Structure formats: structure tokens, C-alpha cells
Structure 1
Amino acid sequence: MRWSFSIGKFAGTVVRVHITFFLLLIWIWFMHYQIGGMAAAWEGVAFILAIFACVVLHEFGHALAARRYGIRTPDITLLPIGGLARLERMPEEPRQELFIAVAGPMVNVVIAAIIFVALGGTAGIEQMLQVENPRADFLVRLAGVNVFLVLFNMIPAFPMDGGRVLRALLATRLSWARATQIAANIGQGLAFLFGFLGLLYNPLLIFIAIFVYLAAAAEAQNAQIRDVANSVLTGDVMVTEFTTLDRSATIAEAIDRLLATTQNEFPILDTRGRMDGLLTRNDMIAALKETGPDAPVVSVMRTGLPSVHRRQSLTEGFRLMQEKSVPAVAVVDSEGRLVGLLTHETIGEMMMVRSAMPEGFRFGRLRRQAPLPPRP
């Protein structure tokens, strides 16, 4: 995620902090300083850090549960609104997603139970509800936050864990796409409820409502792509009309191609027609500022991009794009030569065309048949 940096790697997962998290710490420090001075300000910061330590443990609960099914978690990112564990792929069975989704809130249950026992069982509900009161006991408030995290995360709406639990339960009876659509609709209904309550009580609920609504829409779209991808070949969706670059090309030449076309990604080919790397528009602009127009494209191109055979299912290309977080996947023939590119734009276009096609019409007939243009 952009604007985030690593604070360490634990059990194979990189923990990252988004820069906006520090804005939250500054705001908390200032608010507590107004209430109780310097001591209260630093205690407020310490309390927020303790909360986010619990959030990290929550996300590692998901990560460890996913590892049980052979799913890696490349990174966990801390945001002001919580944590985000990025799985390399979605679980394949409903029971797997159910186990992974529940694992996070169970960590918070354990943390709250440990704190409750450590306090000798004296913490009451009223005390734990005083989360915003800096004069209340630190550990009691922390136990209350963990109880809140369990309840909040089990709301049946994406991207909360409750949305994934709901989908997993529905998927035991329905198709994955249908289960996702129903769960997304429920989540968007709750988003409207949050927005209405936010207008009446707390404006923060409006922000949560927008976040939940967009997340539900994105999850539904992702499920639709996965469902369609099973019946479509990568070669039916790839872009075949694009400009390529030679290894000897310079940034200035790449900029010329950028201005002359509508492309954002430019493959760099060797003499055999195999892709050596990819140069994106952002890469060009950054290189133009840092190294100048005469720098060779090979010095700034992205290497190691995944590839997929043109006859493979689109599911494989889509999976590689998500796992590797790359702007494009190379589509190759049996000899490894580049014959097309799979991008986020082509997948989006495929979904729009698919939704407009008559019932029973074969999508493969619409594939562009133009040959790969000669290298400039």
C-alpha cells in the first residue's frame, strides 16, 4: 500500500504502518493534553499504541489460520481505522474462510479474557464502557476495546470479519458468487443504516458507512470476476494491440511512445520476442525526474513479472495479478513469446461486455484477433 512503511517482519509477514496513523497519534496527544496535560497526553498515545498492538495480534490470528491452508500473508498494514491483512489468495472452501475469518476476533476474546483474569475479575461492564475517559483504568479500558473489536468485526458486512463469516455460511448452500452478492447487499443495507445514524448521532458513522458500502461493492465485483473467469480463457481477454520497446530504448523514446498512444504499460522484449520487463507510465515519470531522458529503459523496468499461457483459464491470470500486485500479467505462447497483456482495464472491460452480451453468447467470439505489432 502506498504511503506506508515497514516496521518489521514477523513469521514471514511484513508489518507496515500507513503514514496517516501518525496523524491519529498527534490528534490523540493533543486531545488528551487539553484534558489532563502532558502526562495524560502521553498516556493517551500509549493507550492507542496498546489498542493497535491488539489489532496486529488480531490480524496475525487471520494470518496463522490462513497458513494452515497453505495461504501466505505477505503483509499487514496498520491504518487509523484498523488493520488490513493481505492474503495471497482467497480460501477455496467455505469452511476455510469461516475458520480464517473467526480466528481474528477469537484473538481479541482471548486478550480480553486474560486482562479480565489479571484484574481479578473486578472489571465491570460500566467500567469497560468508559473507553474514552482517560481517567479510567488503563487495562479495564483495553479490555473494553477488545470486546468492542469482537462485536464490531462480527457485523455482517464487508470488509469486517462478520461479512466473510456470513458469506462462508451462505456458500455452504449457494454458489460463491451468489453468496457474495447476498452478503454484499446486506452489508450495503447496513451501510445506509450507519449513514442515517451518523446524521443523527455521530458523524464518524458516516465515514464508516462509506467505507463499508465501497468495500461491499468491491467484494461483489471481485466475486463476479472469479465466477466468470472460470469459463473464459486468458487469450480471450488479453490486449494484443500495443506498442513494445527494445532493450536499447531510452526513457526519452518511451516518453514519445507514451504521448503517441493510450498505453500505460510498455513491454520490453528481447530479440526472441520474450518479455524482459515492463515499464509503466509512473516508472517513466519517476525515471525522467531522477535519471533524465537518456537513461536506458532496462535500468528502470520492472522484472520478474508473472506470465500465463494464452490457453489457460483467466482464473490463473487473475490470481497471479492479485497475488503479485502487478499492473499487468504477460500472456505467452508455447514458446514463451509475448502474445498479449492481461491488465486490470481489460478485465474490467471484459466484465462490462459480459454483462451486455445476449444469453448464451460465447465470449470468445469477441476476442481481438489482430497480431502483435512489430517492435518499434
Structure 2
Amino acid sequence: MKYSFKIFSIFGIPVELHISFLVLIVLIYIIALLNVVSYVTLLTAVLITLIFVSVVLHELAHCYVAKRYGIGIERIVLLPIGGISEMEEIPKDPKKELRIALAGPVSNLLIGGICYLILILSLAYISKTIQAAIYYFVFVNILLGFFNLLPAFPMDGGRILRAFLAERMNFIDATKLAANIGKQLAIIMALVGIFFNFLLILVAVYVYLGAQAEYQTVLLSTLLENEKVKDVMTTTVHTVKPSNTVKETLKIMFKEKHMGYPVTDDGHLIGIVTFHDLSKIPEAEKDTLINDIMTKDLVVSDPEESLMETLEKLNRNRIGRVPIVWENRLVGIVSKTDITTVLDMKQNLLEKKKK
């Protein structure tokens, strides 16, 4: 995720802080220290920090169980709205998904229970202010635990529901049904929010979009899981040389109607040049060599890579095509259109099987 930086690692999992989260925390502490808002005290700021620690523990609980099942965790990213665990894959075994999903809410309920027990045992020794803060911390953790059990993506309850359904139907249908249930719940929340609390409408939007995104992700990963880049890549690739000038390359582009070209030297990929790059060069400098303006920081794939991984690269880097390199040589190219064509074909076959 852009604009996030690593703060520490635990269980070999990088924990990153999004810049928006950092800004929020710093702002809260400034407000508390300068007493800008009377009810935002230093104790309030510390309490909010501890709540986000609970969020980290919630995500770590998911990750710990996932790693025990051999599922890799890329990182945990902390955002103002909570934490995100980026797993390398979605577990298709319902029992595994159930345990991974339950781990987060259970951790919050345990934190709340332990803190409540500590509070009861220390009532005679702490001030009313500290008691109130601990009560609030307990309440928030229990609320987080039960809120995450709502049967809707992207909450853990949506994954628990899918795990239950996946015991009775295929994984895609289970995801679709769980997502639809989540959407219906989101609509009900939005309607209730109109009359009672505007915040519920925002939560409803988050739940609705999360449900749709989860279904699309599962559909893509399932349909593309056995497809390799080598099966769909175009092996006849038009390239330009680093010694070509801007003027020569523009002529090639207008003739062949391609908006970008790999730059190769004796078959080795050394850069990419696009029409956007060329259009920035003034008319008086059209004899500039491609070597001087091409992009050298390349995003590439290899023939054995899965199409899902390649699609994620395209989306993450906001590019339309990616060169395919094997043993340091350019062997093909894959565009987002190539992948969507495969998806359409697979989806049509899937729908025909259901009929």
C-alpha cells in the first residue's frame, strides 16, 4: 500500500503504519497537549493509542493462525479505520478459514475480559478517572469483537459465514451468497442510519463495497488460479532500440498504432517508452535518443507466473501491459485486455455449467 512505512516486525510479519494514521495520532496528541478541546486529554490520547494496539493484536491473531496453516502474510497495514492483513492467498478449506476468521474477534473479547478482571481486582487502588478509562477500553474491545462477527464482508463474520456455506456448496457460490447477505445487511444498516445515526450510513457503505470487492477478488483468483502467463502472452512483440530517436519512434507509433514499446538491446529488455514520454519532448529536441528518456524502473513478469499475480501487478502499478522476461530476455507481453478476455471466457463456461 502506498504511503505506508514499516514500524516493526513480529512473527516475521512487517507491520506498517499508513501516513494518514500517523497524522491522526499526532493530531490527537497535539490537541491533548495544547488542551484545544477540553475533553481530549492526554489520558484520552493514550487510550486511543491502546485501542489501536488492540487492532494490531486482532490482526496478529489472524496472521498467527494463518501462518500455522502455511499461509504467507505479506504485511499488516494500520489505517485510521483499522488494520488490514495482506495474506498471500485466501484459504479455500472452510475449517481453516473459520479458525483464521474467529481468531481476531476472540482476541478482542479476551483483551476485554482480561482488562475487566484487572479492573475488578484493582478498584480499591486506582482513581475514578482511570477506572472510567479502563471501562471504556473494555467496552471498545468487546464492541470490536462483536462488530467483527457481523455476517458481512469485510468483517470476520462474513468469512465465518462463507466458511459455513462452503461446507455445503462450492467456494465461489458460498462467497457470492455471503456477499449478498452482507449487502442486504448494509442496506438495512443504511436505512436505520437515516433515522438514528449518520455514522451507520458510512459503515453501511463500507460493508456494501467490501462485500462486492470480496466476491470480485474470489471470482478472479478462482477463475485464474490455474492460468499461467505463458498460456496467454503475445510472443510477437514490437520493440524499439535505445539508439532510436524520438522522431523515429513517433513515426513507428503512428504507423503501428501502439502507444508504448519495450526497449531492447540484443534481445535484452532495458526499458519502456510510451507516447506520453515522447509527447513531453519539445519539437526542437526530437533527435533525443530513446535511451535518454525511457523508463528504466520496470515492472515485469515471467512465463510461469499466474495470471492473477500479473493482474495484481497491472492494477497496483496502474499500467495496461507488462513485458514477460525469461532468462533476462524479452519473450512476450501481456495486457490487461488479454487477461479480461480469459476471464470472460472462463466466466461464460462457468455459467454454462450451472445451466
Which TM-score tier does this pair reach, normalised by the shorter chain? 0.7 to 0.9
**Secondary structure of residue in 2 paired with 1:222:** helix
Determine if contact 1:329/1:341 at 8 Å carries over to the other structure.
yes
Over 3 Å counting, the alpha-carbon distance change for 1:338 and 1:185 in structure 2 is: same
Structure 2 letter corresponding to 1:339 = G
Q: Show CA shifts across 1:105-157 (max 9, x none).
A: 1211221122122123689xxxxxxxxxx886222211111101111111111
Amino acid in structure 2 at the alignment position of 1:318: M
Tell me the equivalent position of 1:341: 334
Is the contact made by 2:4 and 2:18 (CA closer than 8 Å) also made in structure 1? yes
Alignment pair present for 1:151 and 2:146:
yes
Larger radius of gyration: 2
Once the 2 structures are TM-superposed, how far is the Cα of residue 52 of structure 1 from its aligned partner?
Answer: 0.4
Please give the alpha-carbon distance, in whole angstroms, between the structure 2 residues aligned to 1:78 and 1:175: 33
Aligned in 2, Cα 1:118/1:227: closer, same or farther, shift over 3 Å? Answer: same
Residue number among 164, 167, 181 corresponding to 1:169 in the alignment: 164
Q: 1:340 to 1:83 in 2, by over 3 A?
A: same
* Partner residue in 1 for 2:173: 178
Report how far residue 352 of structure 1 moved: 4.6
Q: Mind listing any 5+ residue stretches in structure 1 that lack a counterpart? A: 124-133, 362-376
| Local SS of the residue matching 2:73 | coil
Aligned residues: 334
Contact (CA 8 Å) 1:333, 1:339: kept in 2 or not?
no
Asked if 1:142 corresponds to 2:137, the answer is yes
The verdict on how the C-alpha distance between 1:302 and 1:9 changes in structure 2, with shifts beyond 3 A counting, is farther
Structure 2 distance, partners of 1:109, 1:225, is 34
In structure 1, distance between residues paired with 2:31 and 2:221? 46
Deviates more, 1:107-116 or 1:149-158: 107-116
In structure 2, give the amino acid aligned to 1:155: L
Q: Is the 8 A contact 1:188 1:216 kept in 2?
A: yes
Cα distance in 2 for residues equivalent to 1:135 and 1:51: 15
Say yes or no: does 1:302 pair with 2:295: no
Structure scoring higher RCO (CA < 8 A, sep ≥ 6) equals 1
Superposed CA RMSD: 4.2
Secondary structure (helix, strand or coil) at the match of 1:101 reads helix
Are the equivalent residues in 1 in contact too, given 2:154–2:211 (CA < 8 A)? Answer: yes
- Select which of 174, 192, 195 maps to 2:190: 195
Distance change (3 Å), C-alpha of 1:358 and 1:106:
closer
In structure 1, the residue matched to 2:307 is 317
Q: CA 1:151–1:358 in structure 2 vs 1: closer, same or farther (change >3 Å)?
A: closer
Q: CA deviation at 1:244?
A: 4.0
Between stretches 77-86 and 223-232, larger displacement belongs to 223-232
Counterpart Cα distance in 1 of 2:236 and 2:53: 49
- 8 A Cα contact 2:32 2:41, kept in partner: yes
Matched ranges for 1:206-225 at <5 A:
206-225=201-220
Counterpart of 2:57?
A: 57
- Residue 358 of structure 1 and its aligned partner are, at CA, apart by 11
User: Does structure 1 conserve the Cα–Cα contact (< 8 Å) formed by 2:119 and 2:131?
Assistant: no
Structure 1 pair 105–21 and aligned structure 2 pair: CA distance change class (3 A): same
CA contact (8 A) 2:224 2:307 kept: no
After superposition, the Cα gap between the structure-2 partners of 1:5 and 1:146, relative to the gap in structure 1 and judged at 3 Å, is same
Identity %: 31
Partner of 1:83: 83
1:113 aligns with 2:120: no
Give 1:163's aligned amino acid: G
Instruction: Compare 26-35 and 164-173 and name the one that shifted more.
Output: 26-35
Question: C-alpha distance in 2, partners of 1:18/1:230?
Answer: 30
Secondary structure of 1:154 counterpart:
coil
Find the aligned partners of 1:213 and 1:336 in 2 and give their Cα distance. Answer: 45
Residue 177 and residue 359 in structure 1: after superposition, are their counterparts in 2 closer, same or farther (change >3 A)?
closer
3-state secondary structure, aligned to 1:158 = coil
Q: Which deviates further from its counterpart, 90-99 or 239-248?
A: 239-248
The runs of 5 or more residues in structure 2 that have no matched partner are 124-128, 282-287
TM-superposed deviation, 1:178: 0.2
CA distance in 1, matches of 2:322, 2:93: 26
Cα separation, 1, equivalents of 2:46 and 2:292: 49
CA distance in 2, matches of 1:307, 1:248: 26
Residues 31/319 of structure 1: CA separation in 2 closer, same or farther (3 Å cut) = same
> Is the Cα contact below 8 Å between 1:308 and 1:317 reproduced in 2?
no
